[in-house]
Amino acid sequence: MFNKHLWLKEWRGVRWIVVVLMLLFLYAQTGGLYSDTESWQSQYDYFQSDGFQKEQEQSPSDAKMTPEQVKSSLTLNYFTTGFPGDKFSTQYTMSQSYFALSILVVILGVAMVGWERYTRKDHFSLAAPFKRGSMIGTKLLLGCLVITVAYGVSLWLGLWHMFQVIPTEYIDLDMQKVYLGLIGNLGTFLLLFVVAVFVGTVMGELLATVIALLVITIMPRYIYVVWLALMQLLQPDVSAEKLANWTPYANVFLVFGNSEFEYGPFIFQMILLVLFGIGSVFFYKRYSMENNGKVLAFSYLRIPSAILVSFGGAVLITNFWIGGGTADGPSLTSFLIVCIGSFIGCLVICYMVLYRNTWVRR
């Protein structure tokens, strides 16, 4: 696994993606935090200006801001998006560049396994004098190392500048939320990368790999929406706030998805990361090049894959049906009919694709 020729081989295959990834992390995190720092400075200068003092003098007594309110609106407690209006909120993760970063780490994982199989370069790789476990281990380590270094360096540069500008009297960090938020974001990028590698190991066709990745990454949120609707139909007296406690678990693939900064969703994210990593090693070591071009590289995964895909399809269809339903919401009977009917329909399609080779190149 630590053979330099193996590392050089993997590096040459993804070096341009790595360079773009590092530059985008610098733009998104370092540049974003610099922009947030400028926003804080502008807000601070405004509160110190004569114009603000005149506004305070002309405002009614109940509309004036107290010194405590002014300080509170400038105080940084932790890093998040959607922060309450009476505190200083960082917005650096709300830019489109963070969405591009999520896509790019997935592309990095696809390039290491899925694209390598699509271009048949894996024929040379698997014939090289390296153990398969060492090969997939190098891919995973290289990708995780690149993401961690790019994330850490860009974040450090941005935070260093922010803490140089904002006085310590306006910094009151809740360290538990800081760690769970920032380390959780890194876990999100690592999880997206490892999932891309895992899907590449079990799929033998590139288009099927891309579709499977879309299903896996977006499906948790849709599952949560459908589950929430079902619980409200079964238990209408249960408050929505109680059901909303599961939201962070459905957002494991989103930056700052752990909006409540709880340990449970973070641990769940780490468990998924480890499981997908182990699964990548397990299936890569058992892959046969003869399965290139097939939807699934392992025939014994047909039944569980068909069930999972059909379940995902049913969730997606039901979610769209709920969104376009009546104002009063669906009834329990119609809800179950749509769920079960769409599941059976998707199962028939999966059977045609996986067992009859319909719509798949032979």
Segment 311-332 mean pLDDT? 73
- pLDDT in the model for residue 22: 93
Q: Is the pLDDT of residue 336 over 80?
A: yes
Average pLDDT over residues 24-41: 89
**Can you tell me the mean pLDDT for 195-205?**
86
Banded model confidence at residue 193, pLDDT cuts 50, 70, 90: very high
| pLDDT of the residue at 11 | 80
The residue extents of the domains of the chain are: 4-297
Whether the pLDDT of residue 327 is over 80: the answer is: no
**pLDDT at residue 361 in the model:** 46
pLDDT over threshold 60, residue 266: yes
Residue 191 has pLDDT above 90, yes or no: yes
User: Tens of pLDDT along 100-151?
Assistant: 888 899 999 888 887 777 776 666 666 667 787 888 888 899 999 999 999 9
For residue 242, the model assigns a pLDDT of 64
- Share of residues in the chain with pLDDT > 90 (%): 17
Q: Given this model, what pLDDT does residue 2 score?
A: 67
With a cut of 70, say whether residue 189 has pLDDT above it.
Answer: yes
Neighbours of 1 (CB within 10 A): 14
**Residue 160: pLDDT above 90?**
yes
Q: Whole-number mean pLDDT of the chain?
A: 80
Confidence of residue 234 (pLDDT cuts 50, 70, 90): confident
Average pLDDT (160-175) is 87
The 3-class SS string of the chain reads CCCHHHHHHHHHHHHHHHHHHHHHHHHHHHHHHHHHHHHHHHHHHHHHCHHHHHHHHHCCHHHCCCHHHHHHHHCECCCCCCCCCCCCCCCHHHCHHHHHHHHHHHHHHHHHCHHHHHCCCHHHHHHCCCCHHHHHHHHHHHHHHHHHHHHHHHHHHHHHHHHHHCCHHHECCCHHHHHHHHHHHHHHHHHHHHHHHHHHHHECCHHHHHHHHHHHHHHHHHHHHHHHHHHHHHCCCCCHHHHHHHHHHHCCCCCCCCCCCCHHHHHHHHHHHHHHHHHHHHHHCCCCHHHCCCCECCHHHHHHHHHHHHHHHHHHHHHHHHHCCCCCCCCHHHHHHHHHHHHHHHHHHHHHHHCCCCCCCC
User: Any idea which residue has 């769920």 for tokens?
Assistant: 339
Residue 81 binned pLDDT confidence (cut-offs 50, 70, 90): low
Rounded average pLDDT over 167-180: 85
Model confidence at 268: pLDDT above 60: yes
The share of the chain scoring above pLDDT 70, in percent, equals 84
pLDDT tens, residue by residue, 275-291: 999 998 998 888 776 66
Q: 45-58: per-residue pLDDT in tens?
A: 888 887 878 777 77
pLDDT by residue (tens digit) across 82-101? 555 567 777 777 777 888 88
